[in-house]
Amino acid sequence: MASNSPPPGLRWRSNTFFIIATIALGLFTDLFLYGLVVPVLPFVLRDRLSIPEDQIQSYVSGLLAVYAGVQLLFSVPIGWLADRTRSRQLPFLCGLAALLAGTVLLAEGRSIVLLIVARALQGISAAVVWTIGLAMVLDTVGTENLGKTMGTIFSTISIGELLAPVLGGVLYDQTGYGGVFALATGILALDFIMRLLMIEKKTAAKYNLSDVAGATNPREHGTRNNGGEEREPTEEDSLLSNKKDDTYKIENEQSKLVRSFPIIYCFRNPRLLTAMLLSFVQATLLAVFDATIPTEAHTLFGFNSLKAGLLFIALDIPYLVLGPLAGWAVDKYGTKLAGVIGFAYLVPVLVLLRLPTEGLATGTNNIIIYCAILALNGIGLAVIGSPSFVEASEVVQRYDKANPDFFGANGPYAQLYGFSSMFFCAGLTIGPVVSGSLKDSIGYGNTNAIFAVVSGMAAVLSFIFIGGKPSPLSRRA
């Protein structure tokens, strides 16, 4: 029974814009604090812990991998629990507590063990925000607006990716870790306030106020059509829709494991599996840049933490500029086009990263060439930012709409983003370790050539599987 006394500020606290802004800030905080220490870690290890110079790269890669590895382990269990709770807000707040504890330990740690624990706590927080936060986005806007919403969110939080390494380098250079920690604390405080104030749509709907009503579950939203753009359904669309629903219908009695963890059934669909693999590749590429840019900048140009952090500006600006546009294109033209173009484009620009190491230019000219190539790679990273996420969401939504009783009241969406986060974190875990090892053994240029091949394979998978069959005459499955 609905209460007659709604909480203060219910309308604006449950407003779609405020909910999305709160989730975006949570993602921003996670990425900001992650990026804040990327250019700092080599110098913390060297100056605070006296790690030998020839071991710095392996320690940096290891600490980056700990964060992602813990996120990988916790994402699916957190998603499973979130789909069985009445509200996603409480676990969303608990994740922030883990992030605060990890940040304090990172600021005060004087041993490699404490730094590992700190990164592990930050990984737990990341598992919460990327699992529950993304499920809340889908709860709020549905798949028909998911591409542009996520494009805008990723564009916004890319400001954190853009500023964090720069500010981390500047603050550590000028104030030591005290200044870095003070900035992190301020961001955490704002994040906590907004998470505390936010009211989910399904909670607001209990108060029977028409102007706060809205879809409270993704199955209440419409799915996107063949090209991704919304339009009025026709009689032909209804017939095709019924045929599609039949392919997503779960007819037979499933095992106890599938009934307990229903998202597992959806992995029979090759589109969902491919979407997860693309998420893995995307994260691997991001981790390669995070792990190798600071050390390569020190090797090539003798850069300190400040200058190494500034290099990330060239890589991240395309996210800020192109993120919403890329997301809009996914909504309008579908996931296949963005996936194929984005991953195929990255093949040559990853290979180009070998040019600064070849000594074709010297001094300032070599730095300019490196920044330009990083910017070209940033364009590709912006294009591949949302196709895998939107594709996975749409496939699972079709299963959920065809079998609402099978997936429970909340649907399987937190479970989905738990798996999505797991694949993403697997990339973040493997990327630093593999790229660091390859860089030490075969060089920076050859390392990026190997990942160019991986990106090319992702483009082929995108063409074959995501968005349906690769035929202009076929409807999306």
% pLDDT > 90, the chain: 12
> Is the pLDDT reported for residue 84 higher than 70?
yes
Is the pLDDT reported for residue 211 higher than 60?
no
Spatial separation of the C-alpha atoms in residues 109 and 62, rounded to whole Å: 16
DSSP letter (8 states) at residue 227: T
Q: Phi, psi (5° rounding) for residue 122?
A: -65, -35
pLDDT tens per residue across span 213-231? 555 556 555 555 544 444 4
Residue 468 token pair? 């349906």
414 pLDDT exceeds 90?
no
Domain ranges of the chain: 10-220+265-464
Q: In angstroms, rounded to a whole number, what is the distance separating the alpha carbons of residues 389 and 392?
A: 5
The highest-level CATH class for domain 10-220+265-464 is mainly alpha
Q: What is the pTM of this model?
A: 0.74
- Give the residue ranges of DSSP H helices in 384-469: 387-402, 404-407, 413-442, 444-464
Question: How would you classify residue 469: left for phi > 0, otherwise alpha for psi between -120 and 50, otherwise beta?
Answer: beta
Task: Look at the block and give the residue holding tokens 């600021």.
Answer: 107
* Segment among 196-205, 294-303, 327-336, 465-474 with least mean pLDDT: 465-474
Cα separation of 376 and 379, whole Å? 5
Q: Which of 56, 68, 234, 223 is nearest to 141 (CA)?
A: 223
| pLDDT band of 455, cuts 50, 70, 90 | very high
Beta carbons within 10 angstroms of residue 218's beta carbon:
27
Band (pLDDT 50/70/90 cuts) for residue 469 is: low
Q: Which helix (H) or strand (E) holds 153?
A: helix 146-175
